Amino acid sequence: MRRLLATLAVCVLGCSAAAPAPSSPTPPSAPVLPPPQSSEWLTSLDREHPLVGKVWDVNAQAFVAPTLVVPKLAAAKVVLLGERHDNPDHHRLQGAVISELVKAGRKPTVVLEMIEVELQPIIDAYLQNPNATAAGFGAAVAWEKTSWPPFREYQPVLDAAFAGKLPIAAGNVSQSDAKALVKQGISAFPAERVAALRLDRAFPNELEQALLGELRASHCGHLPDKYLAPMALAQHARDAQLAQVLARAGAKDGAVLIAGTGHARGDRGVPYYLKLEAPDSSVMSLAFREVQSGQEEPTAYTANEGPFDFVWFTPRASDEDPCAAFAPKSK
């Protein structure tokens, strides 16, 4: 159980997913809009699904051209690009959106969930090097020593950031801090940090219950109830930390968040804390969603996945059963 808890502590909703097989293709370095044709997708499952490549405007309840989404995103102070971590097409399209925002005249800070805030001095030092490149960014921050998917899959995001000469910010709490919260509660943090992240405030009960239910479901019923609230606390800490970085880094020219869809959802994710950190900041969220075989109604993907402004559909990276990891090992 201790081993399970340690694993779960860093796999809160919207955080790191299992890395794909090393044989996954290397993303191209120059993403463009509109979305690729079926032969250009990096992922292969359900490429011919009728929703693949389409963008659903949640508020208008209608499909819109990808090129028409960018002006709406560009008008917002903060843009949230929610992903499935192990889908390389999501990172290629995130890079494409960032490139289009730059073309629209924006110079946002790119905030990465994948990097812990304590590593910001390393990022700053690397960006000050006149020879720094997007390709070398992963080695500079020791990306491959983390549990995130390979850096090559995220490189389109960094390619776009470097091409646009955009600031880059680390956004997440450390894994050690997340584990400490799960084990010790808010006593794991100094009082001033608890207050800064607003972890001492009651979360709206309806949203909290929904989060607890999703945590239970995402762990296939194998997470003991006594761990649900601590896991939820770690999720709140991540959302609050990301919001704090977005508000600070984007105060002048705005910011773009690269994170899991759980953080990008408008009700209980990062936007909840952004309203407290920077109440006057406008926020737009775009979630990249994998299609499912036989599910062709776009509203079915948004009903239980939280509110977003737009949903961009892609093929799937894997058909692996997420509950298989919890199945009893045969002797």
Digit-coded pLDDT (tens) for 253-299: 999 999 999 999 999 999 999 999 999 999 999 999 999 999 999 99
Strand, helix or coil for residue 172: strand
Q: Alpha-carbon distance 160 to 323, whole Å?
A: 35
Give the residue carrying structure tokens 């549990």. Answer: 147
Helices (H), ranges, 104-204? 120-127, 134-140, 151-163, 175-184, 191-196
Answer left, alpha or beta for residue 258, where phi above 0 means left and psi between -120 and 50 means alpha. Answer: beta
Strand, helix or coil for residue 92: helix
Q: What is the mean pLDDT of the chain?
A: 88
pLDDT in tens, 45-85: 999 999 999 999 999 999 999 989 999 999 999 999 999 99
pLDDT in tens, 21-51: 334 444 444 445 665 665 689 999 999 999 9
Highest-confidence range of 44-48, 110-114, 212-216, 218-222, by mean pLDDT? 110-114
- Among the listed residues 253, 311, 296, the one whose alpha carbon sits nearest the alpha carbon of residue 93: 311
- Which are the contacts of 306, defined by CB distance < 8 A and separation ≥ 6? 261, 262, 265, 266, 267, 268, 269
Please answer whether residues 95 and 157 qualify as being in contact, where contact means their C-beta atoms are separated by less than 8 angstroms.
Answer: yes
- Which are the contacts of 329, defined by CB distance < 8 A and separation ≥ 6? none
Give the pLDDT band of residue 306 (cuts 50, 70, 90): low
Per-domain boundaries in the chain: 2-11+49-305
| CATH 3.40.50.11550 holds for 2-11+49-305 | yes
pTM for this predicted structure: 0.89
- Among the listed residues 258, 109, 222, 128, the one whose alpha carbon sits nearest the alpha carbon of residue 169: 109
pLDDT in tens, 110-121: 999 999 999 999
At 92, which amino acid appears?
A: R
At 49, which amino acid appears?
A: H
Length of the chain: 331
Helices (H), ranges, the chain? 2-9, 66-74, 88-103, 120-127, 134-140, 151-163, 175-184, 191-196, 205-218, 228-249, 261-264, 270-277, 298-303
